[in-house]
Amino acid sequence: MSISDRITDPNNLVEKQGAKLLIYGASGAGKTTACATAPGKTLIISMEAGLLSIKGAKNVDAIEVKEASDIEEIAAALEKGELDYDTVCLDSVTEMSEILLASEKLKSKDPRRAYGEVIEVMTRTMRRFRDLKVHVIFVAKEDKLRDEQTGAFHYQPMMVGAKLPVQIPYFFDEVLALRIFEGEENEQGKKVPERWLQTIGGANYIAKDRSGKLDDFEAPDLTLIIKKLGFDIGEKKNG
């Protein structure tokens, strides 16, 4: 195929690539629950013991990861089309970085070298999943950092080392912070927490919406968000 034959409408390329979202939040914020709202048949690659919140969810399968070789095997199977899903959710890339670091430490006696290697391995692995031709949701824990000069707290995705948390958000057009706010009182007079995805940087949270199509805060319904980003949400595949 010639170069001229490969030229196409960028909308076609985006549609083929699928949506790629990085979502991070504190423990118990509802990150895994949000994954179950993704469009179509969804595979959750579980690296944490936190699937109870989606028990009974429809069109959702899960596969457990225990070691680095599991991640490699799953990535290869998805690339080859041996696993057929509309959406893949990595829950969580925080734990994935820990698993990969543990693997690198076994290979090297020098901890500094292990950290250097895990940055390369993690970056390569994230790209493999990002480049799948399906929707991919990357979930991360939230890291709370205190500015020594101002005393203010800053929030960002949590991963091993100092470089990865800074580098990884650049991989994505959409970085969303899952936050919990105090809601209105229920009939028992108890305030019910509300969960929202913050889509723009602010209140010391890292977040961005490069599409410009999302509101500053969106409900954690990934089917609606991905549809709002302009992707065609077809019929769900039956599991």
pLDDT > 70: what percent of the chain? 91
Q: What is the pLDDT of residues 81-137, one digit of tens each?
A: 999 999 999 999 999 999 999 999 998 878 788 888 999 999 999 999 999 999 999
Question: What is the structure's pLDDT at 50?
Answer: 75
Fold classification of 3-228 (topology level):
Rossmann fold (3.40.50)
Whether the pLDDT of residue 15 is over 90: the answer is no
Question: What is the structure's pLDDT at 14?
Answer: 54
pTM: 0.89
Q: What is the pLDDT of residues 71-84, one digit of tens each?
A: 999 999 999 999 99
Cβ-in-10-Å burial (0-12, 13-18, 19+) of 132 comes to middle
Q: How confident is the model at residue 56 (pLDDT cuts 50, 70, 90)?
A: confident
- More confident of the two residues 45 and 4: 45
Question: What is the structure's pLDDT at 191?
Answer: 82
Distances (CA, A) of 171 to 19, 88, 138, 164: 12, 17, 11, 11
**Radius of gyration in angstroms for the set of CA atoms belonging to the chain, rounded to a whole number:** 19
**Which residues share a beta bridge with 154?**
145
Q: How confident is the model at residue 233 (pLDDT cuts 50, 70, 90)?
A: confident
How far is 135 from 127, CA to CA, in rounded Å?
13
Whether the pLDDT of residue 141 is over 70: the answer is yes
Question: What is the structure's pLDDT at 178?
Answer: 98
Helices 111-130 + 93-107 axis angle, to 10: 140
Q: How confident is the model at residue 237 (pLDDT cuts 50, 70, 90)?
A: very low
Mean pLDDT of the chain: 90
Question: What is the structure's pLDDT at 189?
Answer: 72
Strands (E), the chain: 20-25, 42-46, 60-64, 87-91, 135-146, 153-157, 174-185, 191-198, 208-209, 217-218
Question: What is the structure's pLDDT at 4?
Answer: 65
- More confident of the two residues 3 and 169: 169
How confident is the model over 172-198, as a mean pLDDT? Answer: 89
- Neighbouring residues of 65: CB distance < 8 A, sequence distance ≥ 6: 45, 46, 47, 71, 74, 96, 99
